[in-house]
Amino acid sequence: MSQPITADLVRQLREQTGAGIMDCKQALTEADGDFEGARDKLRAKGLASAEKRRGRETKEGLVDAYIHPGGQVGVLLEVNCESDFVARTDQFKSLVHDLAIQVAAQAPRWVTRDEVPAAELDRERAIYREQAAQEGKGTAHLDQIVEGRLRKFYETFCLYDQPFIRDDGAKARRIEQLIQETVAATGEHITVARFARFRLGERPDETTPDGA
C-alpha cells in the first residue's frame, strides 16, 4: 500500500542522504512512499554515478597518521581526491581516518585485488585445491570451491574487499563501497594511494590481521 509523501518525509530523506529535494521526492514516489526503499534507490543512483567517475585524475588528498591506543600499532595512509576543496571537507577527513583505523585493525597487505602478485594467487589456488581434494570434494565443483576460498583471501588481505569494522556483521559494507558512497556524496573520484602499517617488533612479512 502506498504511503503519503509528505514534506517532512522528503526533508528527512534529504537530511539522511544529502540528495536534492526533487530527487528525494522522485525516489519516494518510485518507492510508493517507503522511506527505506527510497533511500536504497538514491544510494544505488549515487553509486552508479560514482562509477562514472572512475579513472578521473586524483592529485589532491590527505595523508593521515593513526596510532592505536597503547602505542603498539601505527598507520600512515594516503588517500587522493580531485580537488583541495574536497580534501578539506569533514566528510573526506572522516573517511580517511576511518580507513587508517581499518588498516590498523585488519592489517591488509594490498589496497586492491589488482595489486596481489600473480605468483601469490597461484600459490593460494594450489593450496585451496589441495585442501579441497583432501576433504573429498568432487572435481566437478573444485574450481568453484577454490574461487570461493580465494574470495575469503581477498576479504582478509585486500583493503577494498574488507568489511568495514564499524559496520554490523553480515550487513557490513565493503571498504570499496564505503569509498564509493563518499564519491557519490562529494562528486569526486577518490582512491587509496598507499598505506604502511607498523606493529612494534613486527617485520613486514609477519603482518597478519589481529583486530588491534
All domains of the chain, ordered by start, with CATH? 7-51 (1.10.8.10), 60-113+158-206 (3.30.479.20), 117-155 (1.10.286.20)
As given in the structure block, the three cell numbers for residue 201 are: 617488533
Taking the CA atoms of 15, 63, 120 and 198 in sequence, report the sign of the dihedral they define: negative
The pLDDT tens digits of the residues spanning 110-159 come to 999 999 999 999 999 899 888 887 887 766 677 788 888 899 999 999 99
Task: Say what the pLDDT of residue 16 is.
Answer: 64
| pLDDT for the residue 212 | 44
The reported pLDDT for the residue numbered 211 is 42
Sequence-ordered strand ranges (E) for the chain: 60-67, 73-81, 191-199
Q: What is the value of pTM for the model shown?
A: 0.69
pLDDT at position 210: 46
Task: Quote the DSSP letter at residue 117.
Answer: -
For residue 174, list its beta bridge partners. Answer: 163
Residues of the chain with pLDDT under 50: 48, 208-212
d(CA 189, CA 165): 23
pLDDT of residue 121: 92
19, 21, 31, 77, 177 from 27: Cα distances, Å: 10, 10, 6, 37, 21
What does the pLDDT read at residue 46? 62
Spatial CB neighbours of 113, under 8 Å, sequence gap ≥ 6: 154, 158, 160, 161
